[in-house]
Amino acid sequence: MIPVLEVPLGQDLTEFTACLWRSGISHRVVESEHYQVVWLQNPADAETVQHLFARWRAGESLEQVQLKPARRRRFSPAPSLKQLPLTLLLIASSFVVSILIGFGKDLNTLSFFSFAPFSLSAGTLSYPSVSDVLASGQLWRLWTPIFMHFSLMHILFNLLWVWLVGGRMEAMQGRLSLLGLVMFSGLLSNLAQFWHTGPVFGGMSGVVFALIAYSWLWDRQKQTPRFGLPPALMGFMLFWVALGYTGMLGSLGFGAIANTAHLVGLLAGLLWLPVGRRLQRGRASL
């Protein structure tokens, strides 16, 4: 279901919803803190319903009105590729950058995409501070580590979640909301991991943890869930964070684990909820 209208709590929608039912348009009205939100089962009905509401709000009686609902498409568990340009870009960029760095073997290219340029001499790693990186104008470094992966298992695991959860978020809430969460969680998780371990780290894991935390909290806060992920998934991800701190994941082929990025990404996803709500309200309101 998708939200298409937000109406003040005090407004009586009886005549409006009766017209929708009479017309065979499946919907639900869910009360939030300040609004009544009208959700539709079929996204193709959205424009028709919004126009009908505008007519009704202007004073037109709907007692004799009966609409023709949009033709329903067969349910598809996954959105079409055309709906997911940002998700596909994140996946493609991860593969391209990971191949360019040789999955961590090409140190020169790895240094270019890392949070800070580094050099290795006599076993000593040297790199500038965050302020020096910012002063140099190399702002891409704040985000490019999310595209670097150091093993096939690492990249496949992360991008599977980007496809499943990020794709669902883009299709349901729009690419602006997904882009904002990716940039917010990517920046915070990269900063935290850099301060903890230095510049040699990478992966989309911080963003993945943010996506899962955000979707989990969104579903818990909404009477009509948008993501529909198993509630136990959040517990699994918390277990995964704890497992990362034990060092066991490295022996399973995931390489060195950016545990700080995981934890901070998870927190970033929870913090993004108010922003996501505001963005969604803007999409749903007339």
Residues 6+ apart with CB under 8 A from 204: 90, 94, 146, 147, 149, 158, 159, 162
The pLDDT, as a whole number, for residue 262 is: 92
d(CA 11, CA 152) in angstroms, rounded, equals: 55
Report the CATH number of the 2-57 domain: 3.30.70.2080
For the question of residue 205 being annotated catalytic, the response is yes
Backbone φ and ψ for 29, nearest 5 degrees, come out as -115, 120
CATH of domain 82-284: 1.20.1540.10
Cα pseudo-dihedral 158, 163, 165, 168, rounded to 10: 170
Low pLDDT (below 50) residues in the chain = 72-77, 223, 286
Q: Which of 205, 215, 251, 285 is catalytic?
A: 205
Q: What pLDDT was estimated at residue 283?
A: 65
**Sequence-distant (≥ 6) Cβ neighbours of residue 18 within 8 angstroms:** 62
Catalytic residue among 27, 149, 154, 262: 262
Q: Look up 262 and say whether it is catalytic.
A: yes
Domain ranges of the chain: 2-57, 82-284
Helix (H, G, I), strand (E, B) or coil at 207: helix
- The confidence score (pLDDT) of residue 75 equals 38
pLDDT of residue 72: 46
Pairing outcome for strands 2-8 and 35-40 = antiparallel
pLDDT at 286: 43
Give phi and psi for 62, each to the nearest 5.
-110, 10
